[in-house]
Amino acid sequence: MLRAAGVGTGDEVIVPAFGNVEVAEAVTQAGATPVFADIDPATYCLDPSMAEAVLTPRSAALVVVHRFGRTADMARLRDVGQRHGLLVLEQGESEAPYDETAQRRQRAAYLDGRLNGVRTPYGGDGHTYQQYVVRVPGNGRPDRDAFARAVRARGVECRVPVKTPVHRMPAFRRDIQLPETERAADETLALPVDAALTKREMHRIVSACNALGGLLQPAF
């Protein structure tokens, strides 16, 4: 897609470092250079102001990745693209049927109202909860990982959505600071909100997480 749009050798493409190494790989396959910008901590998508801050005369495109059922601020990102003559591409997520999305939202609302000791997701209009991603506040990765192990020991499946930001991977290592990206990689944990979950299973999730609340700083 990038090559077809005329992006190639000598060009730079602004991409997120929070997950999706395939995006950076696609940029390099087109002969261009990926440039990483920080994310908005509420959406986990490219922050428009951070994307604009890393632009150079070689910048040719932005690749926006929508994450966890939240969409990026496309109005502002398109404005950045328009003002600087950039191609703006989007990578979405597979859409679930309406009934399944409605049930996920219902389960997310249940968790929002009962979880403590973790920071629940920013909801916002249109959130489809492809993943229900909480923050485990603390002092970095050991706290989140210990929390995840303890939750699993209580019979609740959970997963770390992004273990290593792309700019910390050997093939794309950059000596840059992306504080929101790195904080999100250290703190995020995806809890189940599948439509098939029963009330008893939802209660187990809440009980398992809240039993560990004393290990953490208070949510805020």
Residue 2 has pLDDT above 70, yes or no: yes
Query: End of a domain among 91, 126, 147?
Result: 91
Query: How far apart are alpha carbons 147 and 127 in whole angstroms?
Result: 25
| 44: phi then psi, degrees, rounded to nearest 5 | 65, 15
Query: How far apart are alpha carbons 37 and 62 in whole angstroms?
Result: 10
Confidence grade of residue 142 (pLDDT, cut at 50, 70, 90): low
Query: Long-range pairs for 177-180 at CB < 8 Å and ≥24 separation?
Result: 178/17, 178/36, 178/37, 178/38, 178/39, 179/38, 180/38, 180/39, 180/40, 180/41, 180/47
Among candidate residues 4, 22, 121, 116, the one with its CA nearest the CA of residue 65: 22
In a domain, 220, yes or no: no
63 and 120 share one domain: no
Query: How far apart are alpha carbons 66 and 30 in whole angstroms?
Result: 22
Give the 3-state secondary structure of 86-117.
Answer: CEEEEECCCCCCHHHHHHHHHHHHHHHHHCCC
Structure letter (DSSP) for residue 214: G
87 and 102 share one domain: no
| Mean pLDDT computed over 67-78 | 95
pTM to 2 decimal places:
0.90
In a domain, 186, yes or no: yes
CATH number at residue 41: 3.40.640.10
In a domain, 81, yes or no: yes
The pLDDT value recorded for residue 71 is 92
59 and 17 share one domain: yes
The pLDDT value recorded for residue 218 is 41
Whole domain around residue 131: which residue ranges?
Answer: 98-215
Among candidate residues 38, 36, 81, the one with its CA nearest the CA of residue 61: 81
Residue 220 has pLDDT above 60, yes or no: no
Residue 167 has pLDDT above 50, yes or no: yes
18 and 107 share one domain: no
Question: What residues form DSSP beta bridges with 191?
Answer: 132
- Name the 3-class secondary structure at 39: strand
Q: How many CB atoms sit inside 10 A of residue 107's CB? A: 22
> Considering its fold, how many domains does the chain have in total?
2
E strand or H helix that includes residue 60? strand 59-65
**Both tokens assigned to 99:** 């009934």
